[in-house]
Structure 1
Amino acid sequence: MNRTPDITVPPLAGTRAVVTGGSDGVGLVIARRLAAAGADVVLPVRNPDKGAAALTTIHEAHPAASVSLRTLDLSSLESVAAFTRTMRDEGDPIGILVDNAGVMTPPTRQTTADGFEMQFGTNHLGHVAVVDGLLPLLQAGRARVVHQISIAARSGEIARDDLQGERSYDGMRAYAQSKIAMGLFGLELGRVAAQRGWGITSHLAHPGVAPTSLLAARPELDRSSETVARRVIGVLSRRGILVGTAETAALPALVAATAPDVESGSFHGPRGLGHVGGRPGPQQLYAPLRDDAEARWVWTTSVDLIGAERLGLAAS
């Protein structure tokens, strides 16, 4: 008897879904499952070779899947603007947006093309800019927007006095901040969307712990080999001990994106010991995500930093 956790994804024919970070790992599983359910899946990717490999993987499993690539580098606001313009020019409403892509714990401080600390700029601000640029299409599709945060957001804070880690940089602290900011923005998006009648809902999810490329060798991030933590996670995952796999880690975001009984502001993650693996289910908001005033500050500050395209996020 197969005891691996799974869910049923409802039919999604006629729904356009956008999944960032969908070229490998958890994002690829999310994209594949959405495509298998009939969604028209768009994968915005930075690396075209990885994107092409992802298309092959999905089509090998589901030959009739509708899935296509677009170009996107979340660490460049110019690239985000080009991607969102392309999508608006295509004009197709978006019913699901999964903000899944991210970078994790560069050992030394790196910056984006726009001078932001790499994790804050990519994981958080890049996705804020995506939401801003796609807002008309999200409204047209009455979309669910899913923000993939992390159990790292259980602790930490927004360093208002050193947001970009210029005075003091710690990779894990900066990673946690980026995911806390993403979560606070996601919660505020749900509240603002309801107040302004946008017709979209906003949800949080976290994958628990699973062996993905986040902690793999990333020379461009000054990490020449996979971390010790990544090797340990891989061993535990293969033996079915405590942590999840890419397949199970994708389930909370899939629930948030597709389950019929999910309300805006929901937070889903694994329900196993320590919430690092197991069946997906509702989670209590982490302490750093419970401050509505902090969420409003993150919203305002983020919109100012990205120079929102005035499509909605910056409106009064």
Structure 2
Amino acid sequence: MARDDIDITLPDLAGRRVVLTGGSDGMGLIMADRLAAAGADLVLPVRNRAKGEAVAVRLRTKNPGARVALHDLDLSSLASVRSFGTALTAEGAPVHLLINNAGVMTPPSRQTTADGHELQFGTNHLGHVALVGHLWPLLLAGEARVVSQVSVAARSGRIAWDDLDSERAYNGQRAYSRSKIALALFARALDEKSRRAGWGVRSVVSHPGVAPTNLLAARPEIGRDADTTGVKVVRWLSSRGLLLGTVETAALPALVAATTAAPRSDVLYGPTGFGHVGGAPGTHALYPPLRDLAAADRMWDASVSLAGVAQAFERGA
């Protein structure tokens, strides 16, 4: 199948409230556009308000009548996540779909969040755990689906249970992999707990494969002043249609996970080409580090405690 032929059709999402993190750039922006076009009541939490306003104008212009609301959110600050949750809760509208898509990748040196956690673990993982917790009453009310976006980096590695914040030893790529493994384990635990308790919330895991997004591009705010060699190689291969996906195809697995009629938590939604780095969206086996439900339960306990949201889930019990 040629990459130009890779696409999906979304169902009508009119009346469905969707919260999408990381929706102002890259594949997140592609997701936002497709969700708005499908009629979703789209909530975009953004760190850069000016950038978010420009995106909202773009989405409304391209999709006349689109419902797009902006809110401030910095996933690297638990206080900011709490404020966002409070604001949405005050609005009172159920949330039907939450896509945990935003992330940061491989700062060259160890950095910390506002709460002192290693930046990738704190942003990619704990920020989204806190988001689920602070939106929990709205997710319950909407019998929501939660999609957590991970990475091919989660196919190997392990959780350092005695060093979750990489204080003893920091390697950017290893810390990134662990943050994505952690998020996937939490997501699997969420689905298992919801099934057992009858909460009515489903939780699934997706990944985009490999595509020329901005994750490895120059990011001065995290100490990366120039594009990495990795992103240059990815751009070269993607532009020539070699093996990898595009930003457009990378957005599709999460959208499939978000809208499929029969969601599964025992698979990964991702590209189905060679090595799962490109190709049409579908499902494939969970990576080995994501298969242990005992580890998922352990990650749940650690995560809801560190994110300060353990009590939130008692409301669904």
- TM-score, scaled relative to structure 1: 0.97
Q: Distance in 2 between matches of 1:209 and 1:313?
A: 38
Give unpaired runs (5+ residues) of structure 2. none
Letter in 1 for 2:144: A
- Please list, as runs of the form range in 1=range in 2, the aligned pairs for 1:52-201 lying within 5 A after superposition: 52-201=53-202
Deviation at 1:70? 0.4
Deviation at 1:2? 7.6
Q: Are 1:255 and 2:222 an aligned pair?
A: no
Deviation at 1:315? 7.8
Show CA shifts across 1:158-179 (max 9, x none): 0012111111000000000000
Q: Distance in 2 between matches of 1:22 and 1:49?
A: 14
Q: Distance in 2 between matches of 1:3 and 1:122?
A: 33
Match of 2:290 in 1: 289
- TM-score, scaled relative to structure 2: 0.96
- Do the aligned residues in 1 keep the contact of 2:3 with 2:241 (CA within 8 Å)? no
Q: Distance in 2 between matches of 1:299 and 1:314?
A: 16
- Please list, as runs of the form range in 1=range in 2, the aligned pairs for 1:42-57 lying within 5 A after superposition: 42-57=43-58
Match of 2:22 in 1: 21
- Do the aligned residues in 2 keep the contact of 1:303 with 1:314 (CA within 8 Å)? no
Letter in 2 for 1:72: L
Secondary structure of 1:10 counterpart:
coil
The CA RMSD measured in Å over matched residues stands at: 1.5
Q: Distance in 2 between matches of 1:112 and 1:83?
A: 17
Secondary structure of 2:135 counterpart:
helix
Letter in 2 for 1:84: G
Secondary structure of 1:198 counterpart:
coil
Q: Distance in 1 between matches of 2:101 and 2:22?
A: 6
Deviation at 1:69? 0.6
Show CA shifts across 1:206-230 (max 9, x none): 0001111111111111101111111
The number of equivalent residue pairs is 316
Instruction: Name the % identity.
Output: 57
- Of the structure 1 ranges 287-296 and 111-120, higher mean CA displacement relative to structure 2 is found in 287-296
Q: Distance in 1 between matches of 2:5 and 2:123?
A: 32
Q: Are 1:312 and 2:313 an aligned pair?
A: yes
Deviation at 1:264? 4.3
Secondary structure of 1:145 counterpart:
strand
Q: Distance in 2 between matches of 1:48 and 1:240?
A: 35
Deviation at 1:249? 0.4
Show CA shifts across 1:84-140 (max 9, x none): 000100010111100000000001000000000000000000000000000111111
Deviation at 1:202? 0.4
Q: Distance in 1 between matches of 2:64 and 2:247?
A: 22
- Do the aligned residues in 1 keep the contact of 2:13 with 2:40 (CA within 8 Å)? yes
Secondary structure of 1:213 counterpart:
coil
